[in-house]
Structure 1
Amino acid sequence: MSDAPVVRFEVVEGIGVITVDYPPVNALGPGVSDGIVAAVDQGNADPAVQAMVLMGAGRTFIAGADIRRFGKPRPPSPRRSYDALDESAKPVVAAIHGYALGGGLENALSCQWRIAVPGAKVGLPEVLIGILPGGGGTQRLPRLIGAKPALEMIVTGRHVPAEEAKALGIVDAIIPGKDLRAEAIAFAKSVIGKPMRRISAMPPAAAEPGLFDDMRKSIARKARNQKAPYNCIAAVEAATRLPFPEGLAEEKRLFQELENAPEAQALRYAFFAEREIARIPFLPKDLALPEIRTAAVVGAGTMGGGIAMSFADNGFPVKLVDASPEGLARGLQRIRDNYAVSVKRGSITQAQMDERLPRIQPVERIEDIADCDVVIEAVFEQLPVKQEIFARLDAVMKPEAILLTNTSAIDIDRIADATKRPQMVAGAHFFAPANVMKLLEVVEGPRTAPEVLGATMKLGRAIGKISGYAGNCDGFVANRSRIFFTLEQNIMVEEGALPEQIDKVMVDFGYPMGPFAVNDMSGLDVSYFTRKRRLAEDPNYRTLPIPDRLVESGRKGQKTGAGWYRYEKGDRTPQVDPEVHRLIKEVAAEQGIEQRPFTDEEILHRLLFASVNEACKIIEEDKALRASDIDVMWLNGFGFPRYRGGLMFWADGIGAEAIYNQIAAWHQRYGDRWRPSALLRRIAESGGKLREAKAPRLQ
């Protein structure tokens, strides 16, 4: 940061222009709020100034508070920027471009007028980091646009486009934005002499009967175990019954309840972890990355279609090819159906669907994708099939094309062996459904070129994913760290826990679905074939006879109407099936396994401690760069409850020493699958934090 002031004030044609210049996004960092206060006072004291403009330098207005300052002592400010703007004797116009989020929008709401350029977005997303708007947003926004739309914005934290903000009444005008400063000055001149419009002077917002109770009921499932959404509701409710000063006091009280709570600490940690995961420190900063403009996907199944949609959704033309015309036709119809469902739900418009679909170009032959910059293989999870595809890709793709495989576990190097350009091969492991899930695991093979690794990480971000690095090993990082979770869930069933008990424990913990219900949704045959492959490679591989028996009896999950649960036709609700209970007891008796009851705590700890231990082994083997990366993968790939921060962050709440001692005890009881990680032992002995663990190459 330079020594230049973070807030500038200048007078142009009788208009005081206040410019926030705090790169990169004009967050409300140190000195910004005080600078706005000083500028407003200067404008009010200058008789040459008739009105003022508040705007941001660079690419955005004010993107929000500096999140790094939350939870830490902050010097008390005698006067906040919100108060100075609200009390200004001369009108202040907020000129919004880029983003006005959180404290940014709260400052804009404190101004008397608001204008925005097309493409700008506004919002109060504090709930997403476990707090609520603390600069008067919960009191001003309901007074301005009404309790119901304000409540929806604050409780969901969504970003609202400028056009919708204009329709709601958040902004007064949409301006072209070709010369933001000049247009804002012209608008400010137009409001000189008009009555001052202070939102704080408006009466409490009107609310329809039952609005707040209805909102509490509607979020009950999604917001379970969380306090921030409910405090947001209470704050907006205060705006409907209290005068403005008392409403601000209630907002402050509710904010202070949240700021240092475990929920907010976990969500702030997740926020920064998702930014840290993009960094690969061993790649040169000046590494020249190949440009990727066109893409192709081989395989039009569920995964391939979802990957193609990810490209189309983010403006990339993508070619889609399949082994047969029938498979290609089915894949395209599935894509159309997926988009149609999104339109019906209101998550996209018909116009957006009509814009995205043509970006997906079906082609009949693999030769038709030869000129694409990148190709992603998404065929069946069997090495010979993938090697055959890569041999063909090697023969037809242009020399500089990047060849990516969507494998979830297979050795990248063995796939690359099928080509004469192993340096151009890497893993791009999408999570199902690929058009929805945010995580993209980017796998570096032993011969992957640095620029291919960097370009694939960048590509993931360009198509709306969170790209995370993984080294080449069986299961890579995300799935490998979960292997022992899956193993333990099945072993506990052998020992007497029922699938529905385990599922309930994990749903109560915060997962949207239990692991057995997820298995049924994914298809039990997928993991069945993976187990068969691993057994063929390792005679000592621990088999899972119960899920094997389910698959072999035709119970493959939702797609066959039966798996761990039974499903009625047209209904995906899991139904407990006595036949599964009978099969479990039958297999346990055959294996000579004595069954017993389980406590919920033992189930939770057996599942998650197993994965914490394996995560430590992955880090010490240099296959994952940081423990926080694994947390991001669990949050965005497996539905781990975000308000718990991630697997390793959650584990720190119990403590490495307690976890190590329990794992050591289970090692003695159950054998080598519970062998403690050396890294876990070191962290336990040193009293360190699991979430701060890093790979040897980063130390």
Structure 2
Amino acid sequence: MRVVNTTIAHPPVTTELRGKIRVIAINHAPVNALSSVVREALLRAIELAEAEAQCAAIVLCGAGTDFSGGADIREFGKSGLQPTLPDLCARIEASIKPVIAAIQGVCLGGGFELALSAHYRLAAEDARLGFPEVLLGLMPGAGGTQRSTRLAGARPALDLMLSGRQIAGREALGLGLVDHTVPDGGVTDAAVAYAQEIADKRGVPRRTRDLVAGLAQTESNRLAVEEARAKAGQKFRGQFSPFRIIDAVEAALSTPFDEGMVNERGNFLEALASPQRAGFMHAFLAEREVAKAPEMRIATQRSVASVGVIGGGTMGAGIAVSVLSAGLPVVMIERDEAALARGHGLVDKVFGENVAKGRLGAEDKDQVMSRFSGATRYEALADVDLVIEAAYEDMDVKKQVFAELDRCCKPGCVLATNTSYLDINEIAASISRPEDVIGLHFFSPANIMKLLEIVVPAKVSADVVATGFAFAKVLKKVPVRAGVCDGFIGNRVLATYRLAIDYMVEDGASPYHVDKALRDFGYPMGPLQASDLSGGDIGWATRKRRAVTRDPRQRYVQIADRLCERGWFGQKTGRGWYQYPHGSRIGVPDPEIEAIVEAERQRAGITPRAFEDSEIVRRVMAAMANEGARILEEGIALRPLDIDAVFLHGYGFPRHRGGPMHYADTVGLANVLEDIREFEKDDAFFWRPSPLLVSLVKEGRDFESLNRSPLDAK
């Protein structure tokens, strides 16, 4: 076959004529993002091919390994960039010559919409297709809602767009989103052959916009929309784009294509201008930025080929599962054979549940468990590269464990503690190699939660810190660098805003009202529900530990102590702030809690008052922002975005609000400070404004301005 190469004036797109088939390739590394220059070049290439006498059909593909990763996020919010993606897709679909999309690698978002506008689609079996827009507070805006619904039906289209998940080419074939799949590699060649076949038959282009007349009358599609809207009310509380996606799919079922496109585009542009999109984008960028620790620039991480875990309780077992799932061998140490057997059982149970749910094959489970061993003597850790201590939260216990690690572990072994609050500098100073000691603070359940606080003590070596970040990447965690203080970043801020909540409850707010207000704000569960989930005894132990150093000026609310004195620790005891009858995981309000709260108000001499939802949210958010500012002043967190990432991935902060520091910026730091000044009138000790917050307001700056500051190695 004679190949004629033609170079057009736009480098992001290349073309070649293969016989009678014009191959147009997006050539915009690294993922062929559809920037305005790419769109312009594609439009010109399509028009040239359509006017070309010797061209009978067009193959649209991506150069390199990907079709297209979608829109160029750097252009979000910029107006006047032509052609728009909807216009380009409409032009491709209107082509009088058949257009075949050859899909390999990633085909996401706008890239998927581009492929759907073609008349036919071939995909590699392992190509990854999807609509991730909802994860950025957006929705498809170039026909994705209209074309995917017409091709696959409402239920699969809604699942893809509301989950943001990626599907393989073979699954896309089953859903009707592609016409054929081919083994990995050779997709473009297969598409050329297919295009030639269509051209030989003088086939009329099949336009998706014309498909599936009367789809609205299909009962399953109607039910799919109703079910999606009901589920979205729970899963996407307070969010904009998921509900607009559902509206657009409903429009695809009940209106002509052009009307559906108007509906989709209007909702897309509204989502693009929404503060929620800015929040999602901040979260997206923050979780990538946090991995860039200063130590990663100045040191090379140590090799980690095997891991030891001290403790087989809930946390230790969860850490072991996380490490085993990453493909590394694990040695667990427990005090005796019975405790070791319990730890082994917890690990085995998690993988067994994965088998039962079809997430893991039975043979795969056996292979994973073959990498898991245990012992009651620390000598079993002689050859491991990293040890994670997950023992009881007590300084003497921690020091005893680290003395054994100092004695038994090889030189260069990274010694990590999973402590949530204790002074890691003190732990490190108790052994002969403090430079090897670091904090790796996992969040429970450790095999599920993505956050990993990398806590950096004073004498740790930079290569150990770099190792912590590299290890987090292996575990697919979001690592955040934190300095040493009581509670580090997350638990320190948590302790502060829990005080604000305690004060409101004692002052008159129902605990169930507080939880509801924060759920309506966007949290998946209220703070008191979260306390029941983690266990009220944990906070009780911390309060008792801090009692001797508590400032006498600090107001102390005893309501939670009254619950703990009754043995009401939450879900694990069947009762906490809520009741959990018959082992239920969903709590119900407890009238006796209200009685305890009222008795404590009387003991403290407090006349209760009412709180509006807005005041509950304002007080909690102000407390978080104020303590976050103090953490920045002290260098515990390097940047505001580090604090945001901690709360997005470890504490359920609503992602569409971007994190507590970003949210404070959206409210306006002057307004946050004004709230604090107002609250300060009633409690001057707790509501002392952070000097950093005061100076930022005075200078007319925001927290985002600190994210742009250079990072100095520490």
TM-score (normalised: structure 2):
0.91
- Using a 3 Å threshold, how does the CA distance of structure 1 residues 180 and 404 change in structure 2: closer, same or farther? farther
Q: Which residue of 1 aligns with 2:380?
A: 368
- Using a 3 Å threshold, how does the CA distance of structure 1 residues 147 and 600 change in structure 2: closer, same or farther? closer
2:209 to 183, 195, 200: 200
Deviations 1:176-233 (A, max 9, x none): 3245554554554455435333322323445424332222112211122222111111
Please say which of residues 63-72 and 78-87 is displaced more in the overlay: 78-87
Q: Which residue of 2 aligns with 1:288?
A: 300
Residue 288 of structure 1 and its aligned partner are, at CA, apart by 2.3
Given that 1:620 and 1:696 are in contact with CA atoms closer than 8 Å, whether structure 2 keeps it comes out as no
Given that 2:416 and 2:437 are in contact with CA atoms closer than 8 Å, whether structure 1 keeps it comes out as yes
Given that 1:136 and 1:251 are in contact with CA atoms closer than 8 Å, whether structure 2 keeps it comes out as yes
What is the CA–CA distance in structure 2 between the aligned matches of 1:605 and 1:638, rounded to whole Å? 18
1:354 to 365, 383, 400: 365
1:520 to 520, 532, 540: 532
The secondary structure found in structure 1 opposite 2:375 is coil
Given that 1:535 and 1:543 are in contact with CA atoms closer than 8 Å, whether structure 2 keeps it comes out as no
Deviations 1:602-623 (A, max 9, x none): 3222222111100001112111
Residue 524 of structure 1 and its aligned partner are, at CA, apart by 0.8
- Using a 3 Å threshold, how does the CA distance of structure 1 residues 35 and 210 change in structure 2: closer, same or farther? same
Residue 670 of structure 1 and its aligned partner are, at CA, apart by 0.8
- Using a 3 Å threshold, how does the CA distance of structure 1 residues 417 and 503 change in structure 2: closer, same or farther? same
Matched, 1:151 2:171: no
Given that 1:481 and 1:615 are in contact with CA atoms closer than 8 Å, whether structure 2 keeps it comes out as yes
Q: Which residue of 1 aligns with 2:275?
A: 262
Equivalent residue letter for 1:364: A
Deviations 1:470-516 (A, max 9, x none): 11211111111222111111222222322112111111211111111
Given that 2:113 and 2:143 are in contact with CA atoms closer than 8 Å, whether structure 1 keeps it comes out as yes
Q: Which residue of 2 aligns with 1:313?
A: 325
Equivalent residue letter for 1:10: E
Equivalent residue letter for 2:428: A
The secondary structure found in structure 2 opposite 1:9 is strand
The secondary structure found in structure 2 opposite 1:670 is coil
What is the CA–CA distance in structure 2 between the aligned matches of 1:193 and 1:168, rounded to whole Å? 28
Aligned pairs for 1:157-306 within 5 A:
157-179=164-186, 181-194=188-201, 195=203, 196-204=205-213, 205=215, 207-208=218-219, 209-280=222-293, 282-283=294-295, 285=297, 287-306=299-318
Please say which of residues 638-647 and 200-209 is displaced more in the overlay: 200-209
Aligned pairs for 1:339-350 within 5 A:
339-342=351-354, 348-350=359-361
1:75 to 81, 91, 97: 81
Please say which of residues 652-661 and 12-21 is displaced more in the overlay: 12-21
Matched, 1:552 2:565: yes
What is the CA–CA distance in structure 1 between the aligned matches of 2:686 and 2:671, rounded to whole Å? 18
Q: Which residue of 2 aligns with 1:483?
A: 495
Aligned pairs for 1:448-527 within 5 A:
448-527=460-539
Please say which of residues 594-603 and 142-151 is displaced more in the overlay: 594-603
Residue 374 of structure 1 and its aligned partner are, at CA, apart by 2.1
Deviations 1:347-388 (A, max 9, x none): x25469637742650312433333233222212111221222
Q: Which residue of 2 aligns with 1:116?
A: 123
What is the CA–CA distance in structure 2 between the aligned matches of 1:116 and 1:309, rounded to whole Å? 35
The secondary structure found in structure 2 opposite 1:674 is coil
1:611 to 590, 606, 624: 624
The secondary structure found in structure 1 opposite 2:701 is coil
Given that 1:404 and 1:425 are in contact with CA atoms closer than 8 Å, whether structure 2 keeps it comes out as yes
What is the CA–CA distance in structure 2 between the aligned matches of 1:495 and 1:314, rounded to whole Å? 48
Aligned pairs for 1:294-693 within 5 A:
294-342=306-354, 348-350=359-361, 354=365, 357-358=368-369, 361-365=372-376, 366-538=378-550, 540=552, 543-693=556-706
What is the CA–CA distance in structure 2 between the aligned matches of 1:437 and 1:85, rounded to whole Å? 43
Given that 2:39 and 2:84 are in contact with CA atoms closer than 8 Å, whether structure 1 keeps it comes out as no
The secondary structure found in structure 1 opposite 2:35 is coil
The secondary structure found in structure 2 opposite 1:210 is helix
Equivalent residue letter for 1:330: R
The secondary structure found in structure 1 opposite 2:610 is coil
Given that 1:119 and 1:162 are in contact with CA atoms closer than 8 Å, whether structure 2 keeps it comes out as yes
Given that 1:62 and 1:101 are in contact with CA atoms closer than 8 Å, whether structure 2 keeps it comes out as yes
1:53 to 59, 63, 68: 59
Q: Which residue of 1 aligns with 2:69?
A: 63
- Using a 3 Å threshold, how does the CA distance of structure 1 residues 593 and 219 change in structure 2: closer, same or farther? same
Residue 694 of structure 1 and its aligned partner are, at CA, apart by 4.4
What is the CA–CA distance in structure 2 between the aligned matches of 1:66 and 1:215, rounded to whole Å? 29
What is the CA–CA distance in structure 1 between the aligned matches of 2:517 and 2:255, rounded to whole Å? 41
What is the CA–CA distance in structure 2 between the aligned matches of 1:92 and 1:548, rounded to whole Å? 69
Q: Which residue of 1 aligns with 2:25?
A: 19
What is the CA–CA distance in structure 1 between the aligned matches of 2:446 and 2:367, rounded to whole Å? 16
Q: How many residues align?
A: 695
- Using a 3 Å threshold, how does the CA distance of structure 1 residues 299 and 658 change in structure 2: closer, same or farther? same
The secondary structure found in structure 2 opposite 1:562 is coil
Given that 1:203 and 1:243 are in contact with CA atoms closer than 8 Å, whether structure 2 keeps it comes out as no
What is the CA–CA distance in structure 2 between the aligned matches of 1:411 and 1:364, rounded to whole Å? 28
Q: Which residue of 2 aligns with 1:38?
A: 44
Equivalent residue letter for 2:126: G
Residue 624 of structure 1 and its aligned partner are, at CA, apart by 0.9
The secondary structure found in structure 1 opposite 2:295 is coil
Residue 286 of structure 1 and its aligned partner are, at CA, apart by 6.2
Query: Which consecutive residues of structure 1, in runs of 5 or more, have no partner in the other structure?
Result: none
Equivalent residue letter for 2:285: F
The secondary structure found in structure 1 opposite 2:107 is strand
Equivalent residue letter for 1:605: R
The secondary structure found in structure 2 opposite 1:672 is coil
> In percent, how many aligned pairs have the same letter?
39
Q: Which residue of 2 aligns with 1:99?
A: 106
- Using a 3 Å threshold, how does the CA distance of structure 1 residues 45 and 285 change in structure 2: closer, same or farther? farther
The secondary structure found in structure 2 opposite 1:55 is strand
Query: Which consecutive residues of structure 2, in runs of 5 or more, have no partner in the other structure?
Result: 1-8
Q: Which residue of 1 aligns with 2:3?
A: none
Matched, 1:127 2:134: yes
